[in-house]
Chains A and B, each alone.
Chain A
Amino acid sequence: MPDTTGLPAELAEIAEDFAELPVPERLQLLLEFSEELPALPERYAAAPESMEQVHECQSPLFLTVEVDEESAPEPGKRVVSLFFSAPPEAPTTRGFAGILHQGLDGLSVDEILAVPEDAPYRFSLAEAVSPLRLRGMVGMLSRIKRQVALKSRAA
Chain B
Amino acid sequence: MADAQTPEQQVPESKFADYAHPERLVSTAWLAEQLEAGNPDGIVVLESDEDVLLYDTGHIPGALKLDWHQDLNDQVTRDYVDSEQFAKVMSARGIGRDTTVVIYGDKNNWWAAYALWVMTLFGHEDVRLLDGGRAKWVAEGREMTKDVPTPQPADYPVVERVDAPIRAFKDDVLAHLGQPLVDVRSPGEYSGELLHMPDYPQEGAMRGGHIPGAKSVPWARAANEDGTFKSREELEAIYLQEQGLKPQEPTVAYCRIGERSSHTWFVLTHLLGFEDVRNYDGSWTEWGNAVRVPVEKK
Contact = CB atoms under 8 A, between A and B. Distances in A.
Given A128-B70, A129-B69, A130-B69, A91 B54 contact: yes
Contacts of B50: 58
Nearest to B56: A31
A96 B11 CA distance: 44
B52 A128 contact: yes
A135 to B, nearest CB: 9
B51 A89 contact: yes
A58 to B, nearest CB: 7
Contact of A88 (B56, B57, B202): B57
Interface in A4-48: 23, 27-28, 30-31, 34
B200 A91 contact: no
B51 A92 contact: yes
B2 interface: no
Interface string A57-95: 011000000000000000000000000000011111101
Contacts of B52: 27, 92, 128-130
A30 B53 contact: yes
Contact of A139 (B53, B57, B200): B200
A30 B149 CA distance: 21
Interface string A118-130: 0000000001111
A55 B52 CA distance: 19
A28 B69 contact: no
B131 interface: no
Contacts of A128: 52, 70
Contacts of B189: none
B56 A93 contact: no
A129 B57 CA distance: 16
A60 to B, nearest CB: 12
B51 A91 contact: yes
A91 B53 CA distance: 6
Contacts of B70: 23, 127-128
A39 to B, nearest CB: 16
B106 interface: yes
Interface residues of A, number: 23
A56 interface: yes
B54 A56 contact: no
Contact of A31 (B53, B69, B200): B53
Contact of B200 (A55, A90, A92): A55
Contacts of B69: 129-130
Contacts of B53: 27, 30-31, 34, 91-92, 95
A89 B202 contact: no
Interface in B21-74: 50-54, 56-57, 69-70
Contact of B56 (A58, A91, A139): A91
Most buried by B among A88, A89, A128, A132: A89
Contacts of A27: 52-53, 56
A38 B53 CA distance: 18
A69 B55 CA distance: 42
B202 A91 contact: no
A56 B57 contact: no
Nearest to A23: B70
Contacts of A91: 51, 53-54, 56-57
Given A56-B202, A129-B69, A93 B51 contact: yes
Nearest to A33: B53
9 contacts: A55-B197, A56-B202, A59-B51, A91-B57, A92-B52, A127-B75, A128-B52, A129-B69, A130-B52
Interface of B: 50-54, 56-57, 69-70, 75, 106, 197, 200, 202, 204
Given A31-B57, A56-B202, A93-B51, 17 more contacts: A27-B52, A27-B53, A28-B56, A30-B53, A31-B53, A58-B50, A59-B51, A88-B57, A89-B51, A89-B106, A91-B53, A91-B57, A92-B53, A92-B54, A128-B52, A129-B69, A130-B52
6 nearest A-B residue pairs (beta carbon): A91-B53, A130-B69, A92-B53, A92-B51, A31-B56, A91-B57
